């Protein structure tokens, strides 16, 4: 059942709660070494799916393999030593400093990263002596990430990792995640930010109502590559818009018709967010 090329394999995963079906039989594969993003509106079943894969929740049906084993049926300690988890919002360890928390948790793993290196990597050097309760939302999140990567995980789960970050902190976080990928870490993330998925993910899945709508790459999701280009420009004080499959041709013709500089010219393809909203809009 263990496979060298996939870190996570999911077949027909089912999970129901008393009043609703959270996960309605999904199939999913995350390849070793890739960053895989799980997208979807609130209540789509993302967190339930991820928590089953993390070994937090039981399932009602289907088979899963995470790093070659079934989390529900394994030597939990040895398996947990190989994964890292960054949960959604936490508020524990309020009385402890960044440094104290990180060096304490390092003692849980067989082969932890260097504490100073981790603090530096998540950008908390200046806050190393600050207590949990003194950290801003974004700094707290970085502490969560530090604890997630501390054990040198082969597989890292990130549940909405950059919620509450300012734009600069998000860029720095993205660099950190790319660095982890370069080091060979497989990453499964959920996010609400489409630009984040586009910047980081090798592949992504859109989940809605407990089902997976599509698995693709950011460039190809929802027929994005085949979508018409939008050419917009101004002429005689009026703005114009043209949707076309051949934007180069169109701009050439426009140029020779107008002669010289075309005012406010812009050629664009729908971004990931446009595509995503269109996809879930059809379903909701």
Partner 1 sequence: MSQSKLPSTLKIGISRGFLEIKQFMRQRESVVFTLLFPVLLLLIFGSVFKDEIAPGVTFSQYFVAGMIASGLVNTGFQQLAITIPMERDDGTLKRLRGTPAPASSYFIGKIILVFVSMSIQVILLLIFGVLLYGITIPSDSAHWITFIWVMLLGLISSTLLGIAFSSVPKSGRGASAVVSPIVIILQFFSGVFFVFTQLPSWMQNFAAIFPLKWLTQGMRAVFLPDSFAAQEVAGSWELGKIALFLGIWSIAGFFLALKTFRWEK
Q: Which is nearer to partner 1, 26 or 101 (CB)?
A: 101
Q: 157 CB contacts (<8 Å, ≥6 apart)?
A: 50, 53, 54, 83, 84, 85, 86, 148, 187, 188, 189
The 3-state secondary structure of 13-75 reads EEEEECCEEEEEEEEEEEECCCEEEEECCCCCCHHHHHHHHCCCCCCCEEEEEECCECHHHCC
**Using rule CB under 8 A, residue 143 touches partner 1:** no
Query: Which of these segments, 21-29, 88-96, 200-208, 230-238, binds partner 1 (CB under 8 A)?
Result: 88-96
Query: Which of these segments, 17-25, 146-154, 200-208, 257-265, binds partner 1 (CB under 8 A)?
Result: 146-154
Q: Which is nearer to partner 1, 86 or 201 (CB)?
A: 86
Q: Which is nearer to partner 1, 17 or 56 (CB)?
A: 56
Q: Which is nearer to partner 1, 152 or 163 (CB)?
A: 152
Q: State the nearest-atom distance from the C-beta of 10 to partner 1, in Å.
A: 19
17 bridge partner residues:
20
> What DSSP state is assigned to residue 85?
E
Binding mask 95-124 for partner 1 (x = CB under 8 A): xx---x---xx-xxxxx-------------
**Using rule CB under 8 A, residue 33 touches partner 1:** no
Q: Which is nearer to partner 1, 3 or 253 (CB)?
A: 3
Q: State the nearest-atom distance from the C-beta of 99 to partner 1, in Å.
A: 12
Give the tokens for residue 11: 């077949």
Residue 207 near residue 28, CB atoms below 8 Å:
no
Q: State the nearest-atom distance from the C-beta of 110 to partner 1, in Å.
A: 5
Beta strands at 35-39 and 61-66: parallel, antiparallel or unpaired? unpaired
Residue 17, judged by CB atoms within 10 A of its CB (0-12, 13-18, 19+), counts as exposed
Q: Which of residues 47-86 bind partner 1 (CB under 8 A)?
A: 54, 56, 76-78, 80-82, 85
Q: Which of residues 152-211 bind partner 1 (CB under 8 A)?
A: 152, 154
> What DSSP state is assigned to residue 228?
P
Question: What is the total count of residues that contact partner 1 (CB under 8 A)?
Answer: 30
Residue 52 near residue 63, CB atoms below 8 Å:
no
Residue 50 near residue 157, CB atoms below 8 Å:
yes
Q: State the nearest-atom distance from the C-beta of 171 to partner 1, in Å.
A: 26
**Using rule CB under 8 A, residue 90 touches partner 1:** yes
Q: State the nearest-atom distance from the C-beta of 1 to partner 1, in Å.
A: 19
Q: State the nearest-atom distance from the C-beta of 217 to partner 1, in Å.
A: 28
Q: State the nearest-atom distance from the C-beta of 136 to partner 1, in Å.
A: 18
Beta strands at 186-190 and 155-159: parallel, antiparallel or unpaired? parallel
Q: How far, in Å, CA of 76 to CA of 280, rounded?
A: 37
Q: How far, in Å, CA of 198 to CA of 206, rounded?
A: 13
Residues that bind partner 1 (CB under 8 A): 54, 56, 76-78, 80-82, 85, 87, 89-96, 100, 104-105, 107-111, 147, 151-152, 154
């Amino acid at each position: 059942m263990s496979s060298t090329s996939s870190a996570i394999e999911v077949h027909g995963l089912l999970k129901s709660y008393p009043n609703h079906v959270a996960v309605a039989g999904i199939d999913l594969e995350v390849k070793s070494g890739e960053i895989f993003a799980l997208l979807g509106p609130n209540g789509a079943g993302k967190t339930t799916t991820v928590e089953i894969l993390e070994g937090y929740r039981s399932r009602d049906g289907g088979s899963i393999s995470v790093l070659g084993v079934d989390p529900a049926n394994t030597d939990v300690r040895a398996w947990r030593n190989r994964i890292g988890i960054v949960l959604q919002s936490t508020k524990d360890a309020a009385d402890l400093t960044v440094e104290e928390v990180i060096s304490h948790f390092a003692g849980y793993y067989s082969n932890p990263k260097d504490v100073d290196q981790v603090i530096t990597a998540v950008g908390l050097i200046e806050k190393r002596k600050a207590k949990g309760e003194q950290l801003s939302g974004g700094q707290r999140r970085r502490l969560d990430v530090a604890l997630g990567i501390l054990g040198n995980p082969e597989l890292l789960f990130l549940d909405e990792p950059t919620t509450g970050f300012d734009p600069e902190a998000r860029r720095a976080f993205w660099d950190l995640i790319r660095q982890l990928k370069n080091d060979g870490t497989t990453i499964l993330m959920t996010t609400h930010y489409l630009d984040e998925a586009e910047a980081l993910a090798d592949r992504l899945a859109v989940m809605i109502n407990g089902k997976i709508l599509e698995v693709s790459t950011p460039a190809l999701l929802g027929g994005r590559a085949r979508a018409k280009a939008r050419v917009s420009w101004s002429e005689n004080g009026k703005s114009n818009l043209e949707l076309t499959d051949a934007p180069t041709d169109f701009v050439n013709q426009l140029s020779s018709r107008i002669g010289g500089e075309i005012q406010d010219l812009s050629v664009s393809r729908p971004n990931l967010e446009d595509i995503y909203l269109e996809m879930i809009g059809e379903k909701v």
